């Protein structure tokens, strides 16, 4: 029968789609790990989880990985309940991704303010513990930055308040007490750490967005194919 042949085609399309979707889940996991590796240690930014978005991406990738396996089983066994569950879960993931994209767009301009407030909070405690100073120094050294928005910010925080001295980690060539050699400003990194970190986030956005758009396309196809297969199974056609 023509209809039976058509449902066979849908069945195989659902199976092939789920294989591609499985690959997409692996890609998301890879992108999440890539973002984690690319981001420096941001302990200096208190109350700001820089690794949060990457962890969410990895988590979504893992969920997609298992859902695609579930969809494959439903298609092969022609199980109406499994295929329906697969379509519902896929739809929920798609809605969550849309909500996340909208939230990211709405709050995109608040990233700088959140990073700035968080880093300045750490700068206040620079002289309080060795751990805090170590974290800030490591960040300034790794990103070749100084202060929140510029090296002049350190004039407002102990132990550099009221002086022109800077942490040694602000020096382009770090040596002991190089932060006290303020005669030549060119010896110091003047760009703020907030701008550096914000730039890292923005540089990774096109990669994440591109992968997300590709996966969203596959999700829509998967939902359509699953609904067609559900209709065929429910109508009682024999799908071999």
Most confident range (mean pLDDT) of 1-10, 47-56, 152-161 is 152-161
Please give the mean pLDDT across all residues of the chain: 77
Which H or E element spans position 195? helix 193-234
Q: What is the CATH number of domain 112-194?
A: 1.10.1450
Mean pLDDT of 50-61: 71
Res. 41: pLDDT tops 60: no
Residues carrying CATH 1.10.1450, the chain: 112-194
Distances (CA, A) of 211 to 29, 51, 74, 147: 11, 18, 26, 34
DSSP states along 5-32: HHHHHHHHHHHHHHHHHHHHHHHHHHHH
pLDDT, tens only, 185-212: 788 888 888 888 888 777 767 766 776 7
């Amino acid at each position: 029968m023509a209809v039976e042949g058509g449902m066979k085609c849908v069945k195989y399309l659902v199976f092939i789609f789920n294989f591609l979707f499985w690959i997409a889940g692996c890609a998301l996991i890879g992108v999440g790990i890539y973002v984690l590796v690319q981001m420096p240690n941001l302990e200096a930014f208190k109350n700001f989880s820089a690794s949060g978005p990457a962890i969410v991406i990895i988590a979504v990738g893992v969920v997609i990985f298992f859902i695609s396996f579930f969809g494959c089983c439903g298609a092969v066994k022609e199980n109406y309940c499994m295929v329906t569950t697969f379509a519902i879960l896929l739809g929920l993931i798609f809605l969550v991704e849309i909500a996340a994209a909208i939230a990211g767009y709405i709050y995109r301009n608040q990233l700088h303010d959140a990073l700035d407030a968080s880093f300045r909070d750490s700068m206040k405690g620079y002289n309080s513990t060795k751990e805090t100073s170590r974290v800030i120094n490591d960040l300034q050294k790794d990103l070749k930055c100084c202060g929140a928005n510029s090296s002049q910010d350190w004039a407002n925080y102990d132990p550099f308040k009221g002086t022109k001295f800077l942490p040694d980690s602000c020096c382009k060539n770090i040596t002991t007490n190089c932060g006290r050699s303020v005669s030549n400003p060119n010896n110091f990194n003047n760009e703020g750490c907030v701008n550096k970190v914000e730039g890292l986030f923005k540089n990774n956005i096109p990669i994440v967005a591109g992968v997300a758009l590709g996966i969203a396309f596959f999700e829509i196809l998967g939902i359509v194919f699953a609904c067609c297969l559900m209709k065929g199974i429910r109508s009682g056609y024999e799908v071999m």
